[in-house]
Amino acid sequence: MVLRLSGSLLCRTLCYGSKSVLSSSLTTVIRGAEDRTVQRLLKGLRSGQRASLAESITLVETSHPKKKIQAKQLLTQVLHQAKRSQSVQGTKALKFRIGLSGPPGAGKSTFIENLGTFLTSKGLKVAVLAVDPSSVTTGGSLLGDKTRMPELSRDMNAYIRPSPARGHLGGVTRSTNEAIVLCEAANYDVIIVETIGVGQSEFSVADMVDLFALIIPPGGGDELQGLKRGIMEMSDLIIINKSDGDLVPAARRMQYEYISALKYIRPKTQHWSTPVKRISSLTGEGIPELWDLILKHRTVMEECREFESRRRLQQRAWLWTHLKDNLMSSFMAAPNMKNILKDMEEGVMKGTISPGDAADVLLQQHLQALHQAQQHKACDE
């Protein structure tokens, strides 16, 4: 459903809710100060305990009202803590968020296993999170499965989190964003967010990382046509995997094709032109050089100050995701909304009311419901 929200209506919705929003966040702060679970999790996160990290992520994925309050409390504290270290250490305090997308079978898990173990051998802590749209429709998860990365999952300096099998894509990515922050609070240096390059998930992931990489296998040549232009536009790095044995010539061809295709694509930033690198996740060839390139991207982005500005824009995008989610939940929770919604949908399909008018009617109905609820609350008090 498309929610058409005119400026004045949005304004009224927000203004109307502001008092209760304010009081509920104050309640959150006051209650949270006493919350033992939050204190315990914070302590566990600070000492880098994987069990506390797993429990904290589960907490932010929950929709249980009491736990939601705890999750907000935890995130608030964690964000304050991160802000404090950033004010002391500057951007060096910011951990590295890497997004990885690629079609099924591209070798994502083999790549993460190889890069991950390479990084932990250098003394870095690595977390792997998955955004898996398939888990929403099938209830099962294809990504982030520990069995796909056997060595890394046994590594004490690595943490692998499978995709949450709930909610719509917005919900999944929202909790992923929060999971990133929690991994950082638990002192993970590199957070890899993995997604299948189908649907919309890669766009959401690109919006929450410092570097977005696309990984592809050498193929027959149709891949380039099939691959969405959008995903190339938002990539900071293109990795041609499986460049080993008999596949080397095909991988080379693929590399040239991508290099030429990128010439016709507007660069994401004027400070970086997207490199196309061949590697083998199976043999590990090219992985150390690829890591150097990833670090170079970070240095360049820090020097031109885009590293921080991207993060700031991502924070703003995150605010909008929350706002849209909260507005939709409040809209759907209003009394009788399901019936009116059904009537309006039928009307729109029959052509008796225009989609725009139907959206306005629904919003008016929602605002009235909010107003009535507020009046009842005032009477009760």
Ligand X SMILES: Nc1nc2c(ncn2[C@@H]2O[C@H](COP(=O)(O)OP(=O)(O)OP(=O)(O)O)[C@@H](O)[C@H]2O)c(=O)[nH]1
Binding site for ligand X (CB under 6 A): 102, 104-110, 142, 148, 196, 241-242, 244, 247, 280-282
* Residue with the two structure tokens 């880098």: 48
Nearer Cβ to ligand X (53/290): 290
CB of 207 to ligand X, least distance (A): 21
CB of 28 to ligand X, least distance (A): 38
Question: Measured at CB, which residue is nearest to ligand X?
Answer: 107
Structure tokens at 188: 């993970």
CB of 248 to ligand X, least distance (A): 10
**Whole-Å CA distances, 55 to 61, 293, 352:** 10, 34, 50
Q: Which amino acid is at 318?
A: W
Cα–Cα distance between 49 and 2 in angstroms, integer? Answer: 42
Query: Inter-axis angle of helices 169-185 and 36-46, to 10 degrees?
Result: 60
In order, the DSSP letters of 275-301 are -EEE--TTT-TTHHHHHHHHHHHHHHH
CB of 130 to ligand X, least distance (A): 10
Nearer Cβ to ligand X (191/287): 287
CB of 19 to ligand X, least distance (A): 47
The answer to whether 255 and 240 have CB atoms below 8 angstroms apart is yes
CB of 159 to ligand X, least distance (A): 18
Strand blocks (E) in the chain: 96-102, 126-131, 158-161, 190-196, 211-216, 237-240, 276-278
Nearer Cβ to ligand X (247/276): 247
Cα–Cα distance between 279 and 141 in angstroms, integer? Answer: 27
Nearer Cβ to ligand X (152/181): 152
**CB burial string 337-374: b at 16+ within 10 A, e below:** beebbeebeebbeeeebeeeebbbebbebbbebbeeee
Nearer Cβ to ligand X (148/268): 148
Short-list 204, 267, 280, 197, CA closest to 237: 267
Nearer Cβ to ligand X (242/310): 242
Cα–Cα distance between 268 and 300 in angstroms, integer? Answer: 14
By residue count, the chain amounts to: 381
Nearer Cβ to ligand X (108/174): 108
Nearer Cβ to ligand X (118/318): 118
Nearer Cβ to ligand X (207/244): 244
CB of 134 to ligand X, least distance (A): 9
CB of 196 to ligand X, least distance (A): 6
User: How many other CB atoms are there within 10 angstroms of residue 300's CB atom?
Assistant: 14
Continuous segment of H or E residues that includes residue 330: helix 306-333
CB of 342 to ligand X, least distance (A): 38
